[in-house]
Amino acid sequence: MNKSKISASIITIGDELLIGQTLDTNSAWMAQELNKIGIWVRRRIAVGDVWDDIWSTLDEEIKTSQIILITGGLGPTADDITKPLLCKYFSGNLITDEAALKNVVDIFEFFKRPLLEVNRKQAEVPNVCRVIQNKNGTAPGMLFERDGKIIVSMPGVPFEMKGMMTDFVLPELPALFDLSKVEHRTLLTAGIGESFLAERIKDFELSLPQHIKLAYLPNLGMVRLRLTTIGNEESLINQIDEYFSILQQHVHDVLVVNEDISLEEVIGRLLIEQGKTLSLAESCTGGNISHLLTSVPGSSAYFKGGVVSYDNSVKQNLLGVNINTLNNAGAVSEETVCEMAKGALNSMNSDYSIAVSGIMGPGGGTEEKPVGTVWIAVSNNTKTIAKKIQLPYNRRRNIENTSINALNLLRLLLLNRL
């Protein structure tokens, strides 16, 4: 096949996606993985469990995309119609795949469950497809070819889909298409808004050649900047590296990291590099910062633990916050978070600590301390730094913003910038 830009469409099937009962994480993950191997996703579509809607969507996407990836509708119940639809669409007949049947039998024997006829039928596949064995479940995947187009159907269960993508689909596509590599260079900034960032680098953006694109990706008080080009030539790679180096110089004072990684990963790297440990005292974030840190593999090397001190008695009894501080300054105050941070540092014998206390809303605010008022403190053995922020969002986003602000304040302390 020629080396023109190869595009893909992702179709996710299920009424639960359309009514918001289930979040579609599949298409986002698939799009990221396809992009890594040089395939552009031109469209992501969610379709209900309706035969005509699925059929017409497939008709439309085959016209313009070389690759169509489908997830969902392969279960054993009556509303799972993807397999019979694809069988008819590609003019096939259902047959039993012996390897798929053995997989189903083995799974039911392992869990000591009776094997029903409806479960056996999951091993049936159209005789016009290549079967993709499911190492993590009972429903096999299917690959069809038509007029140089590739159509792949996989289960909607995320870890089953990811297994098929990783083991079969992603390695197979480069063998079927001559792909141009997509080169990304991404950095993360903090402490500057998107519009101010755009104003700062407007001349740089104008200087970019047409084949290098700049994207702004703002989220939770930080902005990612991404340069992208397509091609395998060494000269293109050298050129995007040169422009990426220039971009870093323009944003050096707000630069967090020159990789596409999360802030919690940055924190983990810094702590490991310095051989230091961290503890947390969370009130208003309810353990969210701990969740972010422990989502990073290897975080046990530096994260000691945290106290969710939601009630004042916990702040007092576990973290050693003085009752007079709570009575006089209040739970949401500079004095309280500083004592919380020192308490976490001492009680968990860590090198660094973070403490947060605030009013996330929608109620609980006062004229003096309105909803969105948050105090953050970071501490080590020599200093404790506190910062007040005022957030205007809903409860969920206030929690997320507080968590990111707290991690970034710790980053600055780790880098001796406070």
* 307, two tokens: 């106290």
* pLDDT over 90, % of the chain: 91
Give the model's pLDDT for residue 4: 56
Question: E-strand spans in 139-238?
Answer: 141-146, 149-154, 182-190, 213-219, 222-230
* 78, two tokens: 């009556």
Q: Is residue 225 over pLDDT 60?
A: yes
The packing angle between helices 82-89 and 51-64, to 10°, is: 50
Contact at 8 Å (CB) between 246 and 239? no
Average pLDDT of the residues in 397-404: 97
All domains of the chain in start order, with CATH: 7-176 (3.40.980.10), 182-257 (3.30.70.2860), 263-414 (3.90.950.20)
Q: Is residue 3 over pLDDT 50?
A: no
The total number of residues written for the chain in this structure: 418
Encode pLDDT of 20-42 as tens digits: 999 999 999 999 999 989 898 99
Give the model's pLDDT for residue 178: 87
* Model-wide pTM > 0.85: no
* pLDDT over 70, % of the chain: 99
Q: Is residue 386 over pLDDT 70?
A: yes
| Alpha carbons within 13 A on the beta-carbon side of 30 | 35
Beta bridge partners, 20, equal: none
3-state secondary structure of 308: strand
A 10 A CB-CB count for 416 gives 6
Give the model's pLDDT for residue 5: 77
Give the model's pLDDT for residue 36: 87
Encode pLDDT of 269-313 as tens digits: 999 999 999 999 999 999 999 999 999 999 999 999 999 999 999
Encode pLDDT of 76-106 as tens digits: 888 899 999 999 999 999 999 999 999 999 9
Look at strands 303-308 and 373-379 and give their pairing: unpaired
Contact at 8 Å (CB) between 288 and 308? no
